[in-house]
Amino acid sequence: MPIHNADIAAVFSEIADLLEIESANPFRIRAYRNAARVVGDASVDVCGMVAGEKDLRMLPGIGADLAAKIREIVQTGKCAFLDRLHGEVPPAIAELLHIPGLGPMRVRILWHALGVETLEQLRRVAGEGRIREVPGFGEKSEQKILQAVEAHLSKTQRFTLAVATQYVDALAAHLKAAAGVDRVEAAGSFRRRRETVGDLDMLVTAAANSPVTAAFTGYEEVAEVLASGPTRASVRLKSGLQVDLRVVAPESYGAALYYFTGSKAHNVAVRRLAQERGLKINEYGVFRGDARIAGESEESVFEAVGLPWIPPELREDRGEIDAAMKGRLPALVDLEDLRGDLHCHTKATDGRDTLEAMAQAAKAAGLEYLAITEHSQRLAMARGLDAERLAAQIDEIDRLNDKLRGIRLLKGIEVDILEDGKLDLPDAVLARLDIVVASIHSHFDLPQAKQTRRVLKAMDHKHFTLMGHPTARLLDEREPCELDMPRIIRHARERGCGLELNSQPDRLDLVDTWCKAAKEEGVLVSIDSDAHSVRDFANLRFGIGQARRGWLEAADVLNARPLAELRRLVGH
């Protein structure tokens, strides 16, 4: 990973924060603050200076000691001094400095007097009325701290992409109804299809006299107006979701869309490219001196810096700029590329709809085939199928396929991977299936070596087709299982198995980075709905978003293949 100026600056400002909490020498603290600013604002790539063995002391305020630290960070990705400070001062404590009214000195007092090291602990002691007893604090400052920490914690709560989508759709319709409004688009992490969003960044173009900001702040879901002006406003919705609105001129629309789509890391990297060409790039346009040379469309912005348009999902500074320069951007998979779905449930287990209803819904979603993959017997809560009930369903699918037109049902199962790596149903019945999705639904917290062995063993089973929701994570609820994913991906390649990208909004598992690793290893990914009702096929678009963030093309996706080819690939 290349180290950017912003990374180095972040290390120095954290050092300054921690030194302040330790009440170190003020000159020393100021030296680090200054270094953070100098490096952060530098128009040259400091990493490149190190590589070129340039003298870092050319940078204002950087002496021999700071220069050595910069070289250390660039060369090792670490800073021993910061690591040492982390040993002395609790690492999360610097977060407390973001609370208005809490400077380093007061943070230190609360830490020593009450053991407060995190925002949650701060909220607790404030709620319990213990801060007012600390010398130098009173009831009033305790109340202020409580309010501030609560506001801060609620601000950092993130919303799933599916939930955010509901807000975006409703709000966009509301804004479009305001007079003079032309374009409305959600930028930010929402447009990059991140699995969660921190806040929404809405962009609007509108006629000069349009009442769009008033329409925005007057929206019925708004709980609090945080800021409001003629061209920008911020609100918090009743759900706690914050929304920023910016009204931009049509000639700046592309530049604003580009800027507010981010990510910040991507923007910083492209800004550096622009600087190398003597250009300045901001939310109003691309400028050479005072002359604006681009900004109406995103394409024009990219073109001005010598790049083709980069899809928003790739804009994370994970190699997309280099790929764009070399003309090697992937042709990302689209919803329309999906020919089938290899994971769903019906009323027979914990789904809500019948086989036939699921088949018709899949057809309506534009699919040509659908694998029925109920839970297996171990999942008693979901009324998982034993061999006998599965055999009965296989016969039912045969009968149904005779009369269905335009959609083909495949026989499958979502079989539990037992703790020892065995599959939860006998081979004889698995052999009759087209698709065997195997998933972990128990013993989520085995240590990595054991968990990995469990999965590798399951993959060795001759009927194993696909690993379902591979890490079993649930957003906000369950951490991913500890698995040696690179090893599992390699094993999948050797065994000719696929990995699922489960499209349920709180799963989105495989995550983007593992999708990319699978692609690089030549392992096919199946983007499945895991539908439990006819409505759930709509979730495929979230899986597609994650797949695109993982650089997947149609050729990397198992269920983008026509049925005959799929059958060949899974060996049935």
Q: Which of 10, 113, 268, 391 touches ligand DGT (CB under 6 A)?
A: 268
- Give 26's contacts (C-beta < 8 A, 6+ positions apart): none
Q: Which of 188-196, 283-291, 321-329, 340-348 is the region at the interface with Ca ion (rule: CB under 5 A)?
A: 188-196
Nearest residue (CB) to ligand DGT, 96 versus 203: 203
Strands 466-467 and 435-439 come out as parallel
Nearest residue (CB) to Ca ion, 201 versus 416: 201
Q: Determine, following the binding rule CB under 6 A, whether residue 450 of this chain makes contact with ligand DGT.
A: no
Nearest residue (CB) to ligand DGT, 75 versus 157: 157
**What whole-number distance in Å separates Cα of residue 509 and Cα of residue 470?**
6
Rounded alpha-carbon distances, angstroms, from residue 413 to 44, 367, 391, 507: 56, 19, 11, 19
- Minimum separation from the CB atom of position 565 to Zn ion (A): 26
**Which among 349, 337, 314, 356 is positioned nearest to 540, based on CA atoms?**
337
Strands 369-375 and 408-416 come out as parallel
Contacts to Zn ion by CB under 5 A:
439
Strands 525-528 and 498-502 come out as parallel
Neighbours of 265 (CB within 10 A): 15
- In the shown chain, the binding pattern of residues 192 to 221 toward ligand DGT, with x for contact by CB under 6 A and - for none, equals --x--xxx-x--------------------
Whether omega before 510 lies within 30 degrees of 0, making that bond cis, reads yes
- Minimum separation from the CB atom of position 220 to Zn ion (A): 38
DSSP letter at 168 equals: H
Q: Determine, following the binding rule CB under 5 A, whether residue 188 of this chain makes contact with Ca ion.
A: yes
- In the shown chain, the binding pattern of residues 159 to 178 toward ligand DGT, with x for contact by CB under 6 A and - for none, equals --------------------
- Minimum separation from the CB atom of position 199 to Ca ion (A): 4
With contact defined as beta carbons under 8 Å apart, do 7 and 42 qualify?
no
| Residues 242-261 interacting with Ca ion (rule: CB under 5 A) | 244
Nearest residue (CB) to Ca ion, 69 versus 191: 191
Largest CA distance in the chain: 82
Q: Determine, following the binding rule CB under 5 A, whether residue 195 of this chain makes contact with Ca ion.
A: no
| Residues 224-263 interacting with ligand DGT (rule: CB under 6 A) | 259-260, 262-263
**What whole-number distance in Å separates Cα of residue 339 and Cα of residue 352?**
23
Q: Determine, following the binding rule CB under 5 A, whether residue 262 of this chain makes contact with Ca ion.
A: no
Nearest residue (CB) to Zn ion, 3 versus 499: 499
Rounded alpha-carbon distances, angstroms, from residue 97 to 91, 187, 235, 288, 554: 12, 29, 24, 39, 47
**Interacting partner of 439 out of Ca ion, Zn ion, ligand DGT, none (Cβ under 5 to 8 A depending on kind):** Zn ion
**Interacting partner of 330 out of Zn ion, Ca ion, ligand DGT, none (Cβ under 5 to 8 A depending on kind):** none
Q: Which of 20, 185, 201, 313 touches Ca ion (CB under 5 A)?
A: 201
- Give 207's contacts (C-beta < 8 A, 6+ positions apart): 179, 180, 181, 182
Q: Determine, following the binding rule CB under 6 A, whether residue 117 of this chain makes contact with ligand DGT.
A: no
Q: Which residues bind ligand DGT (CB under 6 A)?
A: 188-189, 194, 197-199, 201, 259-260, 262-264, 267-268
Q: Which residues bind Ca ion (CB under 5 A)?
A: 188-189, 199, 201, 244
